[in-house]
Chains A and B, each alone.
Chain A
Amino acid sequence: MKDQIIIRTVSRILIPFIQLFALYVIAHGDLSPGGGFQGGVIIGSSIILYVIVFGIEEGRRRMPEKINDVLNSTGVLIYAGVGVLCLVSGGAYLQYSKLPLGSEHTASHLGIYGIEIGVAITVSAVMMTIFFETAGKNDD
């Protein structure tokens, strides 16, 4: 589809705004509907839009396979890591109020932020991986 000038221009302009909206949804998950999952899926969808318009090889050039494989597991590592950090600081696993980041209210809020970031990274990377693998030409 990259020879249709309207689709090419509009998607080039819109994709950064879609990703900015996704970051807004992730960051405001505590105050309004949203959170890690929804923002992660929106980031994955923006890269999938790029792949649909410009082709799979171009998309793989922008998101190399090795970085995609590493990002798959980084999110789960961050989530479990926050839990272990809470263990080290003296509480139970995933008890955010014991983190040494200020009052209990603030520590709890920041712990939830950390978790949402981890979930968003894993969900966006896995959505990209699944689309690349099912849509790529892997025939013999």
Chain B
Amino acid sequence: MIELFFGKYHYWIYIALMMIGFYAMIAKENLIKKIIGMNIFQTAVFLFYISAGKVRGGTAPILWEKAVLYDNPLPHTLMLTGIVVSVSTTAVAFAIVIKIYREYGTIEEDKILGLAEGERFREENPAPPVP
């Protein structure tokens, strides 16, 4: 039981980080807070994969004549792609938030939903013409 804990507690800390980001994404109502939560979640996932690729006694994956064992280079490559995709998604998300602010004047989710409901209601029931 104790050696189960010592072998795996790293993974549980990464899961705690993922849950903090997940909580920020679903519980907060400010749109920028949600995007920041998504960013924390993404970096925690990258940490999880890269730590799964580490080997006891291995060095960095660059050719070196004194090295005996190398780390696995495959997770490094995939997570490099992931970091770049993460920054692209964050940039487009911020651009959409700026556009929403220009259109509705607020970035709190409940107020935006209320305003959008009001617009939709007015579109479906237009006011009768003034006699």
Bound pair: A and B?
A: yes
Q: Which positions in A face B, CB cutoff 8 Å?
A: 31-33, 37, 123, 130, 133-134, 139
CA of A32 to CA of B62, assembled, Å: 7
B62 touches A133 (CB 8 A): no
**Is there a chain A Cβ closer than 8 Å to B11's Cβ?**
no
What are 13 A-B contacts defined by CB distance under 8 Å?
A31-B62, A33-B60, A33-B62, A37-B80, A37-B84, A130-B91, A130-B95, A133-B95, A134-B91, A134-B94, A134-B95, A134-B98, A139-B102
CA of A123 to CA of B91, assembled, Å: 13
Report B62 CB to chain A, min CB distance, Å.
Answer: 7
Residue tally, chain B, CB below 8 Å to A: 9
Is the contact region of chain B dominated by helix, strand, or loop, or is it mixed? helix
CA of A140 to CA of B98, assembled, Å: 13
CA of A32 to CA of B98, assembled, Å: 39
A33-B60, A123-B84 known; 12 new pairs, CB 8 Å cut-off, are: A31-B62, A33-B62, A37-B80, A37-B84, A130-B91, A130-B95, A133-B95, A134-B91, A134-B94, A134-B95, A134-B98, A139-B102
